[in-house]
Amino acid sequence: MMNPSQWFTEQAPGAESAFSLKFKQKLHEEQSEYQFIEIYETEDFGNLMVIDGCTMVSTRDNFLYHEMMSHPVLFTHPDPKRVWIIGGGDCGTLREILKHPSVEQAVQIDIDERVTRLAEIYFPELCESNNDPRADLKFIDGIKWVKDAEPNSVDIIIVDSTDPAGPAEGLFSKAFYRDCFNCLSEHGMVVQQSESPLYHMKLIGEMRDAMSSAGFEHLQTLFFPQAIYPSGWWSATIASKASLAKFRELDSANKNFDTTYYNVDIHKASLAQPEFFKKALGLK
């Protein structure tokens, strides 16, 4: 039996499963203006950030999520110069984006400054590009930021948020996707984490429907492992104004930066659709 004074456990709501990590000590906890944030030093996963009881990021396995939220969409857009991250307060997605030489401006808009301040202390490697002159960290409401933006303000919007409950709920709505559509440039695309293919097919279907009805004609869901998230299998969904049939395969194969999971073969592989996924969504 696992002693709760030594193990952090997250129960997946709706699927009666749980994932636990043994920890050496709790390093920090606080109720910020928006959410309850905990930091653990685990036995085997490095540090772990938990928000409102849900695992967010661990030292050991965050590379999967951050790389797959960044590189596929950036190597799909023909020339990504202006990128916004909605959420992403741990700065790991920002770091990956800034590896792309084409990016001229990367704005991270997380409502909760405390997430970033704690990441600077407990996940310094994720914050190593925060002082890049192209980076701009804003601590304001991302939904309002997108709503108020002028047309043709941005090339890619990465929605790197918590689950669709609490402050992130409005990020999974047609109104938000419509606002994204309106401020994106001609080839603009948005990518959003879309939960577990094994547990959350209904949510993935609803998200895709909302993206379509907001005006995005081209959708692509990609799949990747993520040990600390429910079921250990995760997805992200890209909604694009222009065709997603191809990505910049040669640029990806010749990328001049290091990654731990992503490469051109992994990019292609992440796009393969399981049979049950195609059936559930009526895809051919």
By CB under 8 A, name the one of 21, 49, 184, 238 that touches its own copies.
21
Task: Give the C-alpha separation, 171 to 167, whole Å.
Answer: 9
CB of 283 to its own copies, least distance (A): 11
186 binds its own copies (CB under 8 A): no
Contact between 197 and 233 under an 8 Å Cβ cutoff? The reply is yes
Candidates 90, 160, 163, 179; catalytic one: 160
Cα–Cα nearest to 168, from 189, 143, 190: 143
- The amino acid sitting at 179 is D
Measure Cα distances from 165 to 40, 140, 169, 170, 175 in Å. 23, 18, 5, 9, 16
- Per the DSSP assignment, residues forming a β-bridge with 57 are 49
> Does residue 163 have an active-site annotation?
no
Give the interface segment with its own copies, choosing from 42-50, 91-99, 158-166, 200-208 (CB under 8 A): 42-50
Instruction: Give the rounded distance of the alpha carbon of 178 from its chain centre.
Output: 19
CB of 49 to its own copies, least distance (A): 16
Tallying the residues shown for the chain, one arrives at: 284
Residues 191-250 that bind its own copies (CB under 8 A): 197-198, 223, 225-227, 231-233
Residues 119-158 that bind its own copies (CB under 8 A): none
CB of 213 to its own copies, least distance (A): 27
Q: Which lies closer to its own copies via its Cβ, residue 131 or residue 254?
A: 254
The three-state secondary structure class of 102 is coil
By CB under 8 A, name the one of 173, 182, 212, 273 that touches its own copies.
273
- Burial code (b: 16+ CB inside 10 Å, e: under 16) for 250-274 equals eebeebeeebebbebebbeebeebe
* Side-chain-facing half-sphere of 149: CA atoms under 13 Å: 26
Q: Which lies closer to its own copies via its Cβ, residue 170 or residue 232?
A: 232
Give the interface segment with its own copies, choosing from 15-23, 155-163, 182-190, 240-248 (CB under 8 A): 15-23
Residues 44-83 that bind its own copies (CB under 8 A): 44-45, 60-61
Contact positions toward its own copies, by CB under 8 A? Answer: 1-2, 4, 7, 9, 11, 15-22, 42-45, 60-61, 197-198, 223, 225-227, 231-233, 258-263, 265-266, 268-276, 278
Q: Which residues are catalytic?
A: 160
